[in-house]
Amino acid sequence: MQVRAGETGPDISPIDQMDAYFRIHDIAGYTGYHLSNPDLAQQYINQSNVQLYRDLMNLPNDPRAWNPPAPNILRANIYRMIAEIYLLLTIEEEE
């Protein structure tokens, strides 16, 4: 069962625009973790974190304006806020 922005279900397609960004980030992270060069792997993962942060910051403030829109506005806003804070702290520590 796939977990997407607080929702669960058997569908593997992104539930909303933010989930699509997380999916890209997850694929990049998986790729980075499996690189044989640890320094290159960390750089790859760091860059995927930076890109996800930028993508989240560029989303419209209203999840109903996303393409596709979020089905649960409150959960989407909370999840986005937590992710942005986590990524910001992670990126600052790694630079």
Residue 32 to residue 39: CA distance in whole angstroms: 10
Whether residue 95 lies inside any domain: the answer is yes
Whether residue 81 lies inside any domain: the answer is yes
How much is the pLDDT for 4?
52
Which domain covers residue 91, as residue numbers? Answer: 40-95
Instruction: State how many domains the chain has.
Output: 1
How much is the pLDDT for 92?
59
Q: Which residues contact 94 (CB under 8 A, 6 or more apart)?
A: 42, 46, 49
Residue 17 and residue 66 in contact, taking contact as beta carbons nearer than 8 Å: yes
How much is the pLDDT for 54?
97
How much is the pLDDT for 2?
45
Whether residue 20 lies inside any domain: the answer is no
Tokens (6 digits) for 18: 């933010």
Give the pLDDT means over successive 10-residue stretches in the chain (95 positions): 51 87 90 89 91 97 96 96 94 61
Residue 2 bridge partners (DSSP): 9
